[in-house]
Amino acid sequence: MYPRAIKSYFAPTEVSEVLALLGQHKGAAKLLAGGQSLMPLMKLRLVEPRVIIDLNHVQGLNEISERAGVLTLGAMIRHVELATHARIRQSYSLLADAAGSIGDPQIRNRGTLAGSLVHADPAADYPPAVIALNGRLVLTKPTGNTRIVSADDFFVGPLTSALDEDELVTRIRIPAPSAHTGGAYSKNCQVAGDFAIISVAAQVVLTPSGDCQQATIVIGGVMPKATRAPKAAAVVVGTSLDEATLLRAGEAAAAEVETQDDVRASAVYRSQLIRVTVPQMLRQAVARARKVEA
């Protein structure tokens, strides 16, 4: 119900302060972003940080900007911002879809992009979307050393990311889409806003004549983490994305991605959901791609 006693609480306003505190307290400190994932863990006492570094007042972590073919997102961008941002909805629909699927309005008001990514829940909404968009995370240490980690490499396993205990995610970079690109994300869950039984992120790039030039399919809700389905994606590349091809892609994804039994659903049912949802998301991605001008 209630967290263990916290020894120190800091509310820095600069990234440099955050890094200094991380350097000083690493191991004992937790970064508090939106809190929608961390607070339950603290209340369950599964996590008992002695030091809390509150990121909510830090300047410079809230940008949404597109420059030189790269969309840069600040770590502390709230889900509601991504879900409602006109440019994100238009050109990075995968991300807007995923952000809008998370939890409920109150959760979306507080939850952050980086906070959710670092939590690395296999049934969360961002990982399949950020992987499908070839996102890269910018991580900084107290020494000032910065490394860039691809989304693929960032998720290590259930609730485990590649973030070191003295590292801060400052931004997420996503390559800007070329013309005729469209993406879609949806999840299947027991009640609205719940974690995914499975989820599907699909992105397609069309040729000027409307055939499929590139395709990406990523499946969430599977263990140990969101998984790419390249063989399924390959099924649609070079085709006109007709109905029969989309269905074959669904079959291929169901065969390609290993699913598991758990309290929410059986492996067999998860595979069926993949089989059915992949064509739906491809169809929607194509429709969106067709609306985007060069």
- Is residue 45 near other proteins by the rule CB under 8 A? yes
- What part of residues 210-269 is at the interface with other proteins (CB under 8 A)? 263, 265-266, 269
- Is residue 194 near other proteins by the rule CB under 8 A? yes
Q: Which is nearer to other proteins, 7 or 147 (CB)?
A: 7
Stretch that binds other proteins, among 48-56, 205-213, 215-223, 236-244 (CB under 8 A): 48-56
Q: Smallest gap, in angstroms, from Cβ of residue 6 to other proteins? A: 4
Spell out the residues 6+ positions from residue 259 whose beta carbon is closer than 8 angstroms to its own: 198, 222, 267, 268, 270, 271, 274
Q: Does residue 64 contact residue 171 with C-beta atoms inside 8 Å? A: no
Q: Does residue 252 contact residue 289 with C-beta atoms inside 8 Å? A: no
- Is residue 92 near other proteins by the rule CB under 8 A? no
Q: Distances from the Cα of 100 to the Cαs of 120, 125, 227, in angstroms?
A: 18, 9, 21
Give the one residue of 109, 150, 160, 213 binding other proteins; rule: CB under 8 A: 109
- Is residue 53 near other proteins by the rule CB under 8 A? no
- Is residue 115 near other proteins by the rule CB under 8 A? no
Range list of β-strands (E), the chain: 8-10, 29-32, 51-54, 64-67, 70-74, 136-140, 146-150, 155-157, 160-161, 168-175, 181-188, 198-206, 212-220, 227-228
Give the residues lining the site for other proteins (CB under 8 A): 1-9, 11, 32, 35-36, 39-40, 42-45, 52, 54, 56, 103-107, 109-110, 188, 190-195, 263, 265-266, 269, 272-273, 276
